[in-house]
A and B are shown apart, each in its own frame.
Chain A
């Protein structure tokens, strides 16, 4: 007979516990491994993220350095820069250390042309402005790909007329029934007399700069107005003391002006029609148009440069100096103080007197630039309501206008006198006149490049 043994374990349970524990342990190990893998991955990502942020700062440093060096090294139209000089090829520096395992490297370009792309935008031509592209890559702890940034930087040429109006480096006198609808600026005194109205106010540079009559009793005793405000009142928005960085006002002569050795005076009487009554001493660079004397200067579509020691229109008759249609003319009046001596003593002046006139058909003051190297003076008097559209740049000379003349353009002189019914008008067209010196490069557009883009200067 078969006995039933209820105490006996089922045969299948033998050795079940340990394998089960091992299986559980295996699952636990897998979970643990996953947790550790996630933590390690997070840590790696964090480290990379920190490095990438430092790379961004390093790349930004590269952009700053490249722009600064371009401003200092002033590469020409066919040049770019490497680490230390203007060059025509290999427009990049070697990687430079920023400390803490960070480095940067930059690439610069030649001047950009319209239609080229930089920093994600298509370049458009800007007048008298050089545009370049700068790409910079930052690397920290050799984490690649590095962060790459790109900017478009621009440098305009400095305007000859940084103050939109009248500048007398040492003195400006506005007297009589004269309204100046533009800024009047000086490092020294600005004097108002009669019923002068400084419609756009004045700017002075401390410590020498002063405006007279001063607001209050002094001004109240005069007929002078600032922006239409006179009497005891001042007009603070229009009575400006320039900041230290804006002072003193400087006006260096451009290096590109005509000289005795480099000019186009030979055109006078040949390509440039000279007729009527005149005296033209080519050897002494002295021209006097008198009576019905008439000279037409320039050639359409280009700039023509002339050098004179003396240029006189008048004092009698109705002499005429004409600027050819579409031409740009630059007249430089030499100085008798200059060595080697070219101009005779007593010369160095430009005078328009009597019924004489300058006829600038384009009515554009930028079409006639009159520069003076010496003490001048430049005088435009007794014009009987006639108009002169010109730009006068005479930082060492006196500039006199009086007797009902009308002048449209910019004036820079050492001492400027606008008196007795002078009618003055500023022109924005003068922005196109520059001294050839580039301003520092400034940033106009910025882009962070796609990670890993470009083998060199690409973005």
Chain B
């Protein structure tokens, strides 16, 4: 009898511990999903906000600085002051940043609330918060043929959104959304 109870207790303990572990993993996964949903939503919102800025003002106000942290969107700003941004996975997929002093897109989100500023900013949504990074680059249409201008046919808008997580938590990779904008009539 005693042995039976001990074995049952052991089985239940293992089961409950497993349950706790599984629920914790599910919670973390759900939390990650919530964060990624908020980030994707914020990225789409930012793309739409950028698209209404006049084409001539759609440029970086200053050059962003390269970051050594792989999870920082500025990691893809090329080193060496070339003012290039890597929009794709390969290192060769890089374009020159459109930089103008009168540009509407800030190079850094620091101190800029998304509720007040368009361009790079700090976002907050309920308990979640993070940064929005915007990059405007010149895109050359290599498929258009000889009748198209040879360079700077479009501006590429790339929005990268990060989220702040408590120490020790898994940090989701930034959500990146990209589109092209042709010069309007």
Q: A residues within 8 Å of B by Cβ?
A: 9, 15, 17-18, 20-22, 24-25, 28-29, 31-32, 35-36, 38-40, 42-43, 45-47, 49-50, 53-54, 56-58, 60-61, 64-65, 67-69, 72-74, 83-85, 93, 96-102, 439-440, 442
Contact = CB atoms under 8 A, between A and B. Distances in A.
A36 B178 CA distance: 33
A28 B93 contact: no
Interface string B150-185: 000110000000000000000000011111111111
Interface residues of B, number: 54
A53 B48 CA distance: 11
B114 to A, nearest CB: 17
Contacts of A99: 87-89, 93, 178
B88 A100 contact: yes
Interface of B: 1, 4-5, 7-9, 11-12, 15-16, 18-19, 22-23, 25-27, 29-30, 32-34, 36-37, 39-41, 43-44, 47, 87-89, 93, 141, 143-145, 147-149, 153-154, 175-185
B143 A93 contact: yes
Contacts of B175: 50
A84 B145 CA distance: 5
A67 B39 CA distance: 30
Nearest to A16: B4
Q: List the 3 closest A-B pairs by CB distance, nearest first.
A: A99-B88, A21-B8, A39-B26
Contact of B4 (A17, A47, A49): A17
Contacts of A64: 154, 179-182
A85 B179 contact: no
Given A15-B4, A32-B22, A46-B36, 10 more contacts: A21-B12, A32-B23, A35-B22, A39-B30, A43-B29, A46-B33, A53-B40, A64-B182, A68-B144, A68-B183
From A58, A64, A99, residue with most partner B Cβ within 10 Å: A99
A43 B23 contact: no
B55 to A, nearest CB: 11
Contacts of A56: 44
A350 to B, nearest CB: 35
A314 B23 CA distance: 101
B185 A440 contact: yes
A20 B181 CA distance: 66
Contact of A100 (B29, B89, B148): B89
A46 B32 CA distance: 9
Contacts of A50: 36-37, 39-40, 175
Contact of A102 (B27, B39, B178, B181): B178
A111 B29 CA distance: 51
B60 to A, nearest CB: 18
From A28, A46, A58, A101, residue with most partner B Cβ within 10 Å: A46
A49 B25 CA distance: 21
B177 A54 contact: yes
Contact of B15 (A28, A60, A73): A28
B179 to A, nearest CB: 4
B185 A25 contact: no
A443 to B, nearest CB: 9
Given A61-B180, A69-B148, A99-B88, A49 B37 contact: yes
Nearest to A140: B177
A158 to B, nearest CB: 11
B87 A18 contact: no
B29 A39 contact: yes
Contacts of A96: 143
A20 B149 CA distance: 78
A65 to B, nearest CB: 6
Contacts of A69: 141, 144, 148
A100 B4 contact: no
A396 to B, nearest CB: 28
30 contacts: A18-B11, A21-B11, A24-B12, A28-B16, A32-B19, A35-B22, A35-B23, A38-B26, A39-B27, A39-B30, A40-B29, A42-B30, A46-B32, A46-B33, A46-B36, A49-B37, A53-B43, A54-B178, A57-B47, A58-B178, A61-B180, A68-B154, A68-B183, A73-B148, A84-B143, A98-B179, A100-B89, A100-B176, A440-B185, A442-B185
Contacts of B36: 46-47, 50
Contacts of B141: 65, 68-69
Nearest to B149: A72
Nearest to B144: A69
Contacts of B44: 53, 56-57
Contacts of B176: 54, 100
